[in-house]
Amino acid sequence: MAASSSVFTTSPSRNLSLIRLHQSLSPPLIRSSSVAFRPKRRSSSLVLCSTDEPKSNTEKEIPIELRYEAFPTVMDINKIQEILPHRFPFLLVDRVIEYTAGVSAVAIKNVTINDNFFPGHFPERPIMPGVLMVEVIAMPSSHLSLDM
């Protein structure tokens, strides 16, 4: 047999009512209950998605480029082109942001959907080919080996 009861309680911190939906009493060793929350009363105010009025009291949105400080560049593209013989589209390093001579380097390659390898490398789900990822690792590594 199953018995159901409704118990309404009001929480002082939240304006919600607790409703016990269903409490099972059979078999006696297994007891389950379902609980749901519902607002105590509905709000009469409407929320507008957009208005014709300009946003006068809100802050102007700051572009993402200005929100965060850029990484310090150790080597830009011009310095990289002086060291490596590769040129577009085979130059796969745009800048180096961290460099310890003979030990480590951190480089950045900016990738966009317009890069020439994306249309043919799984058109439905474009991914950067693994061979090019290895080449991206090899380019800063070749500069590291020059300093040894």
CB atoms within 10 A of CB 96: 22
Percent of the chain whose predicted confidence (pLDDT) is above 90: 16
Provide the CATH topology of domain 70-146: Thiol Ester Dehydrase; Chain A (3.10.129)
Sign of CA dihedral 72, 77, 79, 80: positive
Active site amino acids: 121
> What ranges do the domains of the chain cover?
2-39, 70-146
In this structure, the strands spanning 9-10 and 104-108 are: unpaired
pLDDT tens figures, 115-145: 888 888 888 888 889 999 999 999 989 888 8
At 89, the amino acid letter reads P
pLDDT of residue 70: 81
User: For residue 111, what are the CA distances in angstroms to 6, 42, 46, 56?
Assistant: 58, 49, 43, 37
- Residue 22 is predicted with a pLDDT of 46
pLDDT in tens, 86-112: 898 889 999 999 988 888 899 999 888
Per the model's pLDDT, the better-predicted residue between 60 and 88 turns out to be 88
Q: Looking at residue 29, what is its pLDDT?
A: 52
Lowest mean pLDDT among 29-38, 61-70, 91-100: 29-38
- Predicted local distance difference test score (pLDDT) of residue 119: 83
Handedness of CA 53, 56, 58, 59 (dihedral sign): positive
State the pLDDT at residue 9. 45
C-beta separation of 134 from 102 below 8 A? no
Residue 134 belongs to what H/E stretch? helix 130-146
